[in-house]
Structure 1
Amino acid sequence: MNEVVHWYAVSTVLLFVKMFAISLFQGYHRIGKRTFKTPEDAALVGRQAAAEELPQVQRAANAWRNDLENIPIFLALGVVYVWVEASPILAPWLFLLFTAARYLHTIFYLSALQPWRTVAYGVGIVSLLVMCALIVAALF
């Protein structure tokens, strides 16, 4: 297997695991506190539906939405990066840097740590911009 494809696949799986972990985090807090906003879920544990989500669940939902704004862009750029055979030497570094930045962004978001959340976000964006530049360079 091509090494660039290998690292793209590793990053993709790690990003899936991270996003799945956010879902588990939400479930842990909802089930642990038996607090559900959805009436049928609340009824399942013999409770009334909550007026709003728990703060931890809200934070996780915000982190999830941020992932949905960034991870699909990485996945698309990663495929193009592989197709145009952009820098194979930098690929593992860029793919893993983006992935690490997303992990840290989520940890910092759930922990309410600023400015670290923004720094992690910025590192991920810089990774994407460098990928873009290398893709363009490979095309010309």
Structure 2
Amino acid sequence: MSSLSSRMDSQVFQAFSTYATIVILKMMLMSPLTSYFRLTRKVFANLEDTKLVSSKEDKKLVCIDPDVERVRRCHLNDLENIIPFVLVGLLYSLTGPELSVALLHFRLFAGCRIFHTIAYIGALPQPSRAGSWILGMLVTFSMAYRVLSAVLLL
């Protein structure tokens, strides 16, 4: 048990905790951003939500807006990528990697996700968004490989 405790006190685990918190907070900020886009463009997911801007329900306020959908899809993409990073990164940080290698993984992933959001919401031309997504996935796969090679028991 002392080995697990010492690994949790390690600089790698502290670095992981820092970058995991950054990308989790970034993911959490996508919800208020979606709400902002919905309110400013008067686009609502449900008819009853139209009462936020009108005393009576107005069916024409409920529609699809490309900007709102873009932010929503970006948020869903975060969920598909940040949750695996956090889970794999936690296990990875407990395998005792070199701090410099771990920091490279964590920084690359956090940077990729932040750039991915900028590219997605700003509608930057491809392959900007795809490249950042691929690099972020490769980072997570690299950590997963390290975890499996360190602890694989079949």
**Which of 23, 29, 36 does residue 28 from structure 1 map onto?**
36
How far 1:133 moved relative to its partner? 2.5
Aligned CA-pair RMSD = 1.9
How far 1:92 moved relative to its partner? 1.1
Give deviations 1:20-79, integer Å, cap 9, x for gaps: 222222122222233323122111210524342321110111111111111111111111
Q: Say if 2:24 and 2:82, in contact at 8 Å, map to a contact too.
A: no
Give, in whole Å, the separation in 1 of the partners of 2:151 and 2:43.
52
Q: Say if 2:27 and 2:79, in contact at 8 Å, map to a contact too.
A: no
The secondary structure found in structure 2 opposite 1:93 is helix
**What does residue 121 of structure 1 align with?**
133
TM-score, length basis structure 2: 0.80
Give, in whole Å, the separation in 2 of the partners of 1:91 and 1:84.
10
Verify: 1:74 aligned to 2:82, yes or no: no
Q: Give identity over the alignment, percent.
A: 29
Q: Say if 1:12 and 1:75, in contact at 8 Å, map to a contact too.
A: yes
Gaps of 5+ in 2: 1-8
TM-score, length basis structure 1: 0.88
105-114 vs 18-27, which moves further: 18-27
Give, in whole Å, the separation in 2 of the partners of 1:85 and 1:10.
17
Larger radius of gyration: 2
Give, in whole Å, the separation in 1 of the partners of 2:100 and 2:147.
13
**Which of 36, 42, 49 does residue 41 from structure 1 map onto?**
49
The secondary structure found in structure 1 opposite 2:73 is helix
**What does residue 3 of structure 2 align with?**
none
Query: Would the alpha carbon gap of residues 139 and 87 (structure 1) be closer, same or farther in structure 2, given more than 3 Å must change?
Result: farther
Gaps of 5+ in 1: none
Give, in whole Å, the separation in 2 of the partners of 1:130 and 1:16.
20
